[in-house]
């Protein structure tokens, strides 16, 4: 229930440390999130049932407060040299009606993160 509707649940953090950079300079990276379901199959992030049969549970992924579009790059800017630049990964947007209609069981997803230079 912590990630149902407009609620958001913190599930992890992501940290980028800039090494050998110039003090006072801002650095940027592209961050791309995907999961176990290919974008061509579903544009939604989805928790899959451990056992076959039940439908998956769609959810929204957030990079701090920014909603993530699966497979599309988000620019993480203002990264500073020598400091730990951290963002919180959150989930939300789960439809209560969807989970009420599903079989009980274990549902999970694996989020893949790709970091690219700009």
**In terms of pTM, does the model score above 0.85?**
yes
CA dihedral 101, 5, 3, 106 (to 10 degrees): 10
Residue 78 counted as domain residue: yes
Is residue 3 included in any domain, yes or no?
A: no
**CATH code, 31:** 2.60.40.1090
Residue 2 lies in a domain: no
Residue 44: inside a domain, yes or no? yes
**Is position 71 within any domain?**
yes
Contacts of 105 (CB under 8 A, 6+ apart): 49, 50, 51, 54
The string of pLDDT tens digits covering residues 62-106 is 999 999 999 999 999 999 998 789 999 999 999 999 999 988 889
Q: Which domain holds residue 51?
A: 8-117
Q: Is residue 74 within 8 Å of 31, Cβ to Cβ?
A: yes
User: CA-to-CA distance for 18 and 23, rounded, in angstroms?
Assistant: 10
Please state the domain count of the chain: 1
pLDDT digits (tens, 9 = 90+) for 12-65: 999 999 999 998 899 999 999 999 999 999 899 999 999 887 899 999 999 999
């Amino acid at each position: 229930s912590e990630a149902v509707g407009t609620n958001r649940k913190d599930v992890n953090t992501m940290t980028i440390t800039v090494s050998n950079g110039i003090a006072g300079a801002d650095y940027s990276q592209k961050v791309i999130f995907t999961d176990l379901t290919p974008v061509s199959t579903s544009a939604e992030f989805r928790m899959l049932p451990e056992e076959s049969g039940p439908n998956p549970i769609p959810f929204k992924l957030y990079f701090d407060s920014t909603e993530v579009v699966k497979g599309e790059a988000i620019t993480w800017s203002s990264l500073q040299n020598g400091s730990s630049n951290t963002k919180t990964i959150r989930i939300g947007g789960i439809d209560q009606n969807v989970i009420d209609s599903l079989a009980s069981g274990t549902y999970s997803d694996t989020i893949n993160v790709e970091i690219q230079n700009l």
